[in-house]
C-alpha cells in the first residue's frame, strides 16, 4: 500500500513538472492545441523557442500569414513579465487549398508554429509565467473560429535545462519551415501583374511560389515560373483589391519535392526597365504607335489586303461622299480590330497565358483559315466568283450598305494579316502598352490603328490627293485580276507557315481543303450567272464545310520542322545562353517566327549573308536563334525582359558590356558595324 502511494505521488510530481513547461492540450471543435517550451528551466539572458502545436481533424486546416482569398491567419497575443519579449511567428512552408473559385494558403495535419522568446539579463524572478491568447480559424467545407488562453510557467535558474519531450517537437517545427536564403529579389506591379526576378537561387526546379503580402496577387490565377539567364522570373495577376504593395515582403518558393525556400522581395528601383517604361511620356508612345501603324502599310504582309481597299477607292474616284464614308468605315474596322486583339491579348495574359503580339498566328487552325480566306478572295478577284462585300465591284452598282460593310471588313482583314509584321517604332510602343493598366494599353492600340488607317483618311479628306486618283474605267477589271496574284502569294506564305507548325502531312490536308474551296467557289460563281436551281450553292456549301472539316485530320501536336542545315546558328535556350555568357563568349540572340515577315526579310538581307557569317566567325560570336512560331513561354519571358511583346528581337551580348538591342529593321551592314564598334571599345 505504501509503495502504491509513493508511486502515485511520484506520478503527480512528474505530471506537475511536465505541465510546468507545457500548457497541456486545449480541446476545440475539429482541432486541439497546446503551447510547449523548448526548455523546462531557463536563465536570464537566454533565448528559447515556444511551440504552438495544432492537431486538426482529418481534412481540416488552419491558415498561413497570407491566408489567400479567404480565411484568417493564426494570431498570438502574449502576456509576459516586464522585459521579456517575443519575436514574430516562424511560419512553416504553406500549402495551397483550391476551393474554386478561391485559393487559400495554410496547413493541413499537425502544424507547429515557433516563436522565439528572449529573457533579459536583469531578470531576477525565480519563475517565468507565460500566457498566450491564441485565435485561429479551422476550415474544411465550413469554417469554425476559435480561441484559447494557453499558459505555462518555467523555472528560472543558473543553468538552462532542455525539456526532452519538446526537443523533437521543436525540431519538427524547424524542419517544416522554408530554408532562409541570403539573397534578395525585386518585384514590380506594372501592367496589371505581379512580376519578380530573383537570381542566386539553388539549382532547384521550383514549381510554386507564395507571397506573404495580402491582397497583392490573384491567388487563384495561374503562376508563371521561368528560369532565364541565371535568374527566376515569376508572374501572377494582381488581386482585384490591390491598391499598393509594401516596399518589401517575404517570398516562399517551393520545389518539386515540397521543400520551401524563403527570401525577401523588394520593390524595383526607379532605374529599372519597368520604371523607365512607366516614366515614358504618353504622347511620345502614342506618336510611336501611330508611326508604326503608318509604316505597317508598307510591309509585304499587308499589301495584298490593301489592294482590295485600293480597288474600292478607285471605284469611287470623283465621289467625295462615298470616299469619305468608306474611309471612315475602314478606319473603324482597323481600330476596332486592334482594340479587339488588345483585349484578347490582355485577357489571355490575365488568365496566365504567355502570349504576345502576333499570338493568333501561333495557332495552326487560324493560319489555315486565313490561307483559305485569302485564297478565296484571290479567286474572287480572278472572276471565278463574286463576293458581295463591296470590294470587288465598281461604282454605282454598290449600295451604301454593301460599301460600308466592305470597307469595314477590309480593315478587319488588314489588321489580322498585319499582326505578323512589327514595323519600326511598334516594338517600343507595344512593350510600353503591355506594362500599363488596361485603359492606357488600349489607347496605344487605338493610336496604332489610326496610324494604319491614316493614308486612306488623307485620300478621302484632302481634295488635292483625291484629284490625283485615276477615273474609273475598263482598266479596273484588269487591275482587279492582277491584284489576285499577291493574294495567292500570301496564301502560299500562310501554307508554308502552316507546314512549319504542323508538318508536311498537315500541308497535304490543307491543300485538299483549298481544292474543295476552289470547287465551291467555281460552283457558286457559275450559279451567280445562271441562277438556275439551288443544287450548285448547296453543293458549294457542303464543299466549304468539307474544307474546314478536313482540318480535324491535322494532328494536335505538330512535329517541328527540322533545323536548317545552315550551321552558323544554334537553337536558343535560357540555359545555353547563360552558359555562353558565363564562359565569356560574345553571343547574338535572334528571336524570330516563321509568320513574321520582318524577321524573314532581316534574316535574308542581314543575318544569313556571307558578310554577316564572316563577321560572326571573325569575332567568334555564337549565334542563337529562338523560334516563336508556336507558343513558347521561355521566349515570351525573354521578350518581356527587353520590354518587347513581339518579334523580331535582336540582342548582342559582348563580354563586360551591357547587352545591346539591335534595330528591328536590319541593313546588310548592321551586324558587322556593331561588332566592329564593340570590339574597339
Kindly report, residue by residue over 544-571, the tens digit of the pLDDT.
676 666 666 555 444 444 444 445 788 8
- List of residues 6+ apart from 295 with CB closer than 8 A: 423, 424, 425, 426
Same domain, 325 and 461: yes
Q: Which of 293-302, 318-327, 374-383 has the highest mean pLDDT?
A: 374-383
Which residue has cell 480565411? 71
Q: Which of 6-20, 107-121, 131-145, 281-295 has the highest mean pLDDT?
A: 107-121
Question: What mean pLDDT comes out for the span 335-344?
Answer: 78
Task: Point out which residues pair with 62 in neighbouring strands.
Answer: 107
Q: For the segment 166-176, what is each residue's pLDDT rounded down to a tens digit?
A: 899 999 999 99
Same domain, 160 and 206: no
Distance CA 343, CA 438 (A): 8
- The answer as to whether 537 is a domain residue is no
Q: Is the pLDDT of residue 228 over 70?
A: yes
Distance CA 125, CA 115 (A): 22
Q: What integer pLDDT is reported at residue 379 of this predicted model? A: 80
Same domain, 159 and 208: no
Q: Is the pLDDT of residue 41 over 80?
A: yes
Question: What mean pLDDT comes out for the span 266-295?
Answer: 62
**pLDDT band at 181, cuts 50/70/90?**
very high
Residue ending a domain, choose from 440, 473, 506:
473
Q: Is the pLDDT of residue 616 over 60?
A: yes
Segments of 177-328 assigned E as strands: 179-188, 193-199, 206-211, 224-228, 231-237, 248-255, 260-267
- Report the CATH number that the domain containing residue 186 is assigned in CATH: 2.60.40
Beta-carbon count within 10 A of 47 CB = 12
Same domain, 269 and 401: no
Average pLDDT, the chain: 77
Same domain, 207 and 99: no
Question: What mean pLDDT comes out for the span 109-126?
Answer: 95
- The answer as to whether 658 is a domain residue is yes
3-state secondary structure 480-519: HHHCHHHHHHHHHHHHHHHHHHHCHHHHHHHHHHHHHHHH
**pLDDT band at 310, cuts 50/70/90?**
low
- Structural domains of the chain, count: 4
Same domain, 353 and 222: no
Q: Is the pLDDT of residue 593 over 50?
A: yes
Question: What mean pLDDT comes out for the span 664-668?
Answer: 82
Same domain, 264 and 192: yes
Q: What integer pLDDT is reported at residue 113 of this predicted model? A: 97
Residue ending a domain, choose from 175, 198, 228:
175
Same domain, 574 and 639: yes
Same domain, 226 and 307: no
Question: What mean pLDDT comes out for the span 115-123?
Answer: 95
- The answer as to whether 377 is a domain residue is no
Q: Is the pLDDT of residue 482 over 80?
A: no
**pLDDT band at 588, cuts 50/70/90?**
very high
* Nearest one of 236, 229, 222, 228 to 265, comparing CA atoms: 236
Q: What integer pLDDT is reported at residue 356 of this predicted model? A: 47
Residue % of the chain over a pLDDT of 90: 27
- Report the CATH number that the domain containing residue 607 is assigned in CATH: 3.40.30.10
Distance CA 649, CA 588 (A): 10
Residue 9 or residue 35, greater confidence? 35
- The answer as to whether 44 is a domain residue is yes
Question: What mean pLDDT comes out for the span 30-49?
Answer: 94
Same domain, 295 and 414: yes
Domain that holds residue 77: 17-175
Same domain, 267 and 289: no
Question: What mean pLDDT comes out for the span 514-528?
Answer: 80
Q: Is the pLDDT of residue 431 over 70?
A: no
- Report the CATH number that the domain containing residue 129 is assigned in CATH: 2.60.40.1250
DSSP-assigned letter for residue 240: T
**pLDDT band at 604, cuts 50/70/90?**
confident
Q: What is the dihedral of CA 667, 672, 677, 680, to 10 degrees?
A: -170
Q: What integer pLDDT is reported at residue 558 of this predicted model? A: 46
Q: What integer pLDDT is reported at residue 551 of this predicted model? A: 62
- The answer as to whether 574 is a domain residue is yes
Q: What integer pLDDT is reported at residue 648 of this predicted model? A: 84
Q: What integer pLDDT is reported at residue 1 of this predicted model? A: 45
Q: Is the pLDDT of residue 190 over 80?
A: no
- The answer as to whether 643 is a domain residue is yes
Question: What mean pLDDT comes out for the span 354-383?
Answer: 66
Q: What integer pLDDT is reported at residue 274 of this predicted model? A: 41
Q: For the segment 375-411, what is each residue's pLDDT rounded down to a tens digit?
A: 877 787 777 776 643 333 333 333 333 456 667 777 7
Residue ending a domain, choose from 175, 205, 234:
175
Question: What mean pLDDT comes out for the span 420-433?
Answer: 53
Q: What integer pLDDT is reported at residue 81 of this predicted model? A: 95
Q: Is the pLDDT of residue 134 over 80?
A: yes
Q: What integer pLDDT is reported at residue 472 of this predicted model? A: 52
Question: What mean pLDDT comes out for the span 45-73?
Answer: 93
- The answer as to whether 6 is a domain residue is no
Distance CA 285, CA 662 (A): 19
- The answer as to whether 561 is a domain residue is no
DSSP assignment of 65-133, as one string?
EEEETS----EEEEE--TT-EEEEEEPPPPEEEEETTEEEEEEESSEEEEEEEE--TT---SEEEEEEE
**What sign has the CA pseudo-torsion 593, 598, 604, 609?**
negative
**pLDDT band at 264, cuts 50/70/90?**
very high
Distance CA 651, CA 664 (A): 10
Q: What integer pLDDT is reported at residue 488 of this predicted model? A: 78
Q: Give the global pTM.
A: 0.44
Residue 70 or residue 83, greater confidence? 83
Same domain, 305 and 394: yes
Amino acid at each position: 500500500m505504501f509503495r502504491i502511494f509513493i508511486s502515485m505521488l511520484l506520478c503527480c510530481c512528474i505530471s506537475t513538472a511536465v505541465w510546468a513547461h507545457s500548457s497541456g492540450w486545449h480541446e476545440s471543435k475539429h482541432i486541439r492545441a497546446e503551447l510547449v517550451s523548448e526548455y523546462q528551466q531557463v536563465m536570464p539572458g537566454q533565448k528559447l523557442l515556444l511551440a504552438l502545436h495544432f492537431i486538426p481533424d482529418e481534412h481540416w486546416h488552419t491558415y498561413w500569414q497570407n491566408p489567400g482569398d479567404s480565411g484568417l491567419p493564426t494570431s498570438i497575443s502574449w502576456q509576459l513579465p516586464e522585459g521579456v519579449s517575443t519575436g514574430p511567428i516562424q511560419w512553416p512552408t504553406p500549402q495551397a487549398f483550391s476551393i474554386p473559385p478561391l485559393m487559400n494558403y495554410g496547413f493541413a495535419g499537425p502544424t507547429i508554429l515557433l516563436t522565439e522568446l528572449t529573457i533579459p539579463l536583469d531578470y531576477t524572478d525565480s519563475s517565468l509565467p507565460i500566457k498566450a491568447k491564441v485565435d485561429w480559424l479551422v476550415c474544411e467545407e465550413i469554417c469554425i473560429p476559435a480561441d484559447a488562453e494557453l499558459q505555462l510557467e518555467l523555472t528560472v535558474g543558473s543553468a538552462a535545462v532542455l525539456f526532452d519531450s519538446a526537443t523533437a517537437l521543436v525540431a519538427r517545427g524547424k524542419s517544416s519551415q522554408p530554408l532562409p536564403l541570403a539573397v534578395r529579389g525585386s518585384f514590380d506591379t506594372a501592367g496589371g501583374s505581379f512580376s519578380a526576378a530573383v537570381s542566386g537561387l539553388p539549382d532547384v526546379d521550383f514549381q510554386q511560389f507564395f507571397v506573404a503580402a495580402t491582397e497583392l496577387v490573384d491567388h487563384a490565377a495561374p503562376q508563371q515560373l521561368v528560369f532565364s539567364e541565371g535568374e527566376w522570373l515569376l508572374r501572377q495577376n494582381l488581386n482585384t483589391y490591390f491598391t499598393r504593395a509594401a516596399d518589401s515582403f517575404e517570398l516562399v518558393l517551393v520545389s518539386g519535392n515540397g521543400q520551401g525556400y524563403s527570401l525577401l522581395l523588394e520593390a524595383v528601383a526607379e532605374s529599372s526597365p519597368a520604371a523607365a517604361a512607366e516614366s515614358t511620356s504618353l504622347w511620345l508612345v502614342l506618336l510611336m504607335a501611330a508611326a508604326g501603324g503608318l509604316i505597317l502599310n508598307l510591309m509585304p504582309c499587308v499589301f495584298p489586303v490593301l489592294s482590295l481597299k485600293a480597288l474600292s477607292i478607285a471605284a469611287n474616284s470623283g465621289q467625295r461622299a462615298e470616299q469619305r464614308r468608306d474611309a471612315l468605315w475602314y478606319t473603324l474596322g482597323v481600330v476596332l480590330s486592334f482594340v479587339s486583339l488588345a483585349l484578347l491579348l490582355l485577357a489571355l495574359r490575365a488568365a496566365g497565358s504567355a502570349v504576345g503580339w502576333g499570338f493568333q498566328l501561333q495557332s495552326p487552325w487560324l493560319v489555315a483559315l486565313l490561307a483559305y480566306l485569302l485564297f478565296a478572295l484571290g479567286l474572287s478577284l480572278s472572276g471565278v466568283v463574286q463576293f458581295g462585300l463591296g470590294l470587288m465591284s465598281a461604282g454605282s452598282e454598290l449600295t451604301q450598305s454593301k460599301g460600308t460593310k466592305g470597307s469595314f471588313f477590309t480593315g478587319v482583314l488588314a489588321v489580322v494579316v498585319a499582326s505578323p509584321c512589327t514595323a519600326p517604332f511598334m516594338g517600343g510602343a507595344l512593350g510600353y502598352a503591355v506594362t500599363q493598366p488596361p485603359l492606357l494599353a488600349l489607347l496605344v492600340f487605338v493610336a496604332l490603328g489610326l496610324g494604319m488607317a491614316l493614308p486612306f483618311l488623307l485620300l478621302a479628306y484632302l481634295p488635292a490627293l483625291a484629284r490625283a486618283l485615276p477615273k474609273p474605267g475598263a482598266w479596273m477589271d484588269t487591275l482587279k485580276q492582277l491584284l489576285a496574284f499577291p493574294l495567292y502569294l500570301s496564301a502560299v506564305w500562310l501554307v508554308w507557315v502552316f507546314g512549319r507548325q504542323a508538318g508536311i502531312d498537315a500541308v497535304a490536308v490543307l491543300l485538299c481543303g483549298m481544292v474543295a474551296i476552289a470547287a465551291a467557289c467555281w460552283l457558286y460563281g457559275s450559279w451567280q450567272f445562271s441562277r438556275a436551281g439551288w443544287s450548285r450553292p448547296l453543293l458549294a456549301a457542303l464543299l466549304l464545310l468539307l474544307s474546314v472539316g478536313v482540318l480535324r485530320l491535322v494532328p494536335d501536336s505538330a512535329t517541328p520542322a527540322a533545323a536548317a542545315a545552315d550551321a552558323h546558328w544554334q537553337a536558343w535556350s535560357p540555359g545555353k545562353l547563360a552558359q555562353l555568357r558565363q564562359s565569356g563568349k560574345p553571343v547574338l540572340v535572334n528571336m524570330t517566327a516563321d509568320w513574321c515577315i520582318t524577321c524573314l526579310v532581316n534574316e535574308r538581307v542581314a543575318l544569313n549573308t556571307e558578310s554577316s557569317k564572316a563577321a560572326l566567325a571573325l569575332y567568334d560570336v555564337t549565334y542563337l536563334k529562338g523560334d516563336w512560331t508556336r507558343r513558347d513561354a521561355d521566349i515570351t519571358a525573354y521578350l518581356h525582359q527587353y520590354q518587347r511583346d513581339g518579334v523580331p528581337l535582336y540582342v548582342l551580348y559582348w563580354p563586360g558590356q551591357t547587352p545591346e538591342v539591335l534595330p528591328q529593321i536590319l541593313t546588310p551592314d548592321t551586324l558587322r558595324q556593331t561588332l566592329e564598334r564593340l570590339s574597339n571599345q
